Structure 1
Amino acid sequence: MALFALSAHADSQSEINHLLAFVAQTSCTYERNGSFHNGREAVAHIKKKYRYFADDIKSAEDFIHYSASKSTFSGKHYTIHCPEQKPIKSQTWLLNELTRYRHSLKAK
C-alpha cells in the first residue's frame, strides 16, 4: 500500500511539474484579477499558492484547483488569452493539457 502511495505521489508531482513548465512556456497571457501576466510571471504566482496549499494538494487536479484556477481573495477565475482563440478559464485550459499529457504517456 505504501509503495502505491509513493508511486501515485510521484505521478502527481510529475504531472504538476509538467503543468508548471507548460504555463512557463506558453505564448498565451494569464489574466488574474484584471491584470495580465506572461507565463513566467504566472508560474511565480502559482508556485506561491502551491506552497501555501501544499498540505491540501494530493493530485494534479488538486494543484489546478488550489493553485491555478482562481483568486483566493476575489474569487474571480483566472483567464487564459491565447492568440486567435476565445479566452478560456485557466482551470479548463490546464485540465485539457493534463488530459493531453496523460494520453501522451499512455501512447508511449
Structure 2
Amino acid sequence: MHGFAVLLAVLLPAVAQAAPSATAQREIRGLMDALSASSCEFQRNGTWHGRDEARKHLQRKYDYLLKRDLADTAEQFIERAASKSSISGRAYQVRCPGQPVQPAAVWFKTRLDALRGSAVPGR
C-alpha cells in the first residue's frame, strides 16, 4: 500500500496541472494578437505603455498563471491577467485613437466576443 501512495503522490501533480483547452489557448492568443495589431495604448499603475510592451507584460502574467493552473479559459485570463495589477489592484485602462479611455477588461471582453462571433464551426 505504501508504494501506491508514493506513486499517487508523484502522479497527482501532473494530472492536476492540466493545460487550458486548445480553444482557450487560441482565444487567449487571439486577444494578445488583437492588442498587438491595435494602435491602442495600455495603462498600468498610472503609466501608459505601447502595445508591444503591454503584450510582453500580459504574456509574463499569463505564463505565471499557467504554471499555477489559473488560466483555463479566456475569461480567466481577462479577469486574472488583463484587468488589473496583481500588485496594486489598480484597474488597467486601454486608450485607442478616437475613442474614450476604457477599462482593459471591457476592451478584452469586446475582443473576445468578436473572436467568438467570427469563429468558423469545425475549426
TM-score, with structure 2 as normaliser: 0.78
Q: Structure 2 regions of 5+ residues with no counterpart?
A: 1-17
Matches within 5 A, 1:1-108: 9-54=21-66, 55-106=69-120
Quote the RMSD (CA, aligned, Å): 1.9
- 1:62-93 CA distances to partner (integer Å, 9 max, x unpaired)? 01111111001110000001111111000010
Partners of 1:32 and 1:71 within 8 A in 2: yes
Alpha-carbon distance in 1 for matches of 2:31, 2:98 = 22
Structure 1 or 2: more helix by fraction: 1
Instruction: Give the Cα separation in 2 of the matches to 1:46 and 1:12.
Output: 16
- Native 8 Å contact 1:80 1:93 kept in 2: yes
CA shift at 1:107, angstroms? 7.7
- Equivalent pairs counted in the alignment come to 103
Q: Give 5+ residue unaligned stretches, structure 1.
A: none
Q: How much has 1:29 moved relative to structure 2?
A: 0.7
Structure number, greater radius of gyration: 2
What is the DSSP-based 3-state SS (H/G/I as helix, E as strand, rest coil) of the residue aligned with 2:90? Answer: coil
Q: Give yes or no for contact 1:15–1:98 (8 Å, CA) kept in 2.
A: yes
CA distance in 2, matches of 1:23, 1:84: 16
1:106 Cα deviation from its structure 2 partner: 4.7
